[in-house]
Amino acid sequence: MNQAFRRPEIVEILRRDGKVTVDGLAEHFGVTLQTIRRDLSDMAEAGQIERVHGGAIPPSGTHNIGYEERRSLNHRAKAAIARCCASQIPENASIFLNIGTSTEAVAKALMGHRNLLVVTNNMNVANILAANSDCEIIVTGGSLRRSDGGLVGKLASETIEQFKFDLAVVGCSAIDPQGDMLDFDIQEVGVSQAILRQSRRSFLVADHSKFHRTAPARIASLARVDCFFTDKGLGGDLETKCEAWGTEVVLCPQRS
């Protein structure tokens, strides 16, 4: 397989896993380490990837990838995270689910819950939970973001401020090594901050690919989250920080 065929597949693996290694790619393609290093260097010069020690990560950016593409990425991991999260959500509770494919997976996992009051700024979440007759749904106002069905802006934040939720379940676009949750849309960030202020407890749902991405707008620190549901260990300093903050990290195994 020549470079022209390897490059697109490397991009796909990177999008799926959040990081690639020289050793892993060499084994996958059956080529030498030097060949992979040359591939990665050329791709970095073209802006397709960002080189790191021993491999590569997605390039830094200011725009999120498309909604349909995000929906298909790490699908099994998101489903596992959603099941773990839903198992910790009691019945007879008021909850908020924000914008994101991970929170939509949580909505699907809540189909068997009874007597829930769900407030959301995610039209997809509302449509999913409409099939649960034991769930009351309130949709915030706001400006409709057609790309993913999200409602953002001042009206969405003002609606949220009328409530005090038992629990918020939120997602984010990236998590940096300092433990900050990040996003791309400053209007969505303002809404997410309002959600966290108005909730007695908060859960974050995010798969491991978010550890290797970056985004320009800060939502809050993981210190603000009571429980973080993910599919792989945080490792190193970030895990230590979560322990110090009292942020519980729950690893959610995928079904075989």
Of the pLDDT bands very low, low, confident and very high (cuts 50, 70, 90), residue 44 is: confident
Q: Which two tokens stand for residue 124?
A: 């997809």
Residue 80 has a pLDDT of 96
CATH architecture classification, 67-251? 3-Layer(aba) Sandwich (3.40)
* pTM, two decimal places: 0.78
Considering only 78-92, 210-224, 239-253, which range has the smallest mean pLDDT? 210-224
pLDDT tops 60 at residue 189: yes
Share of the chain above pLDDT 90, in %: 67
**Burial 120-155, CB ≥16 within 10 A → b, else e:** bbbbbbbebbeebeebebebbebeebeebbbbbbee
CATH class entry, domain 3-57: mainly alpha
Chain segment 200-216, per-residue pLDDT in tens: 999 999 998 888 778 88
Three-state DSSP class for residue 200:
strand
pLDDT tops 60 at residue 192: yes
pLDDT tops 60 at residue 70: yes
Domain ranges of the chain: 3-57, 67-251
Residue 179 has a pLDDT of 95
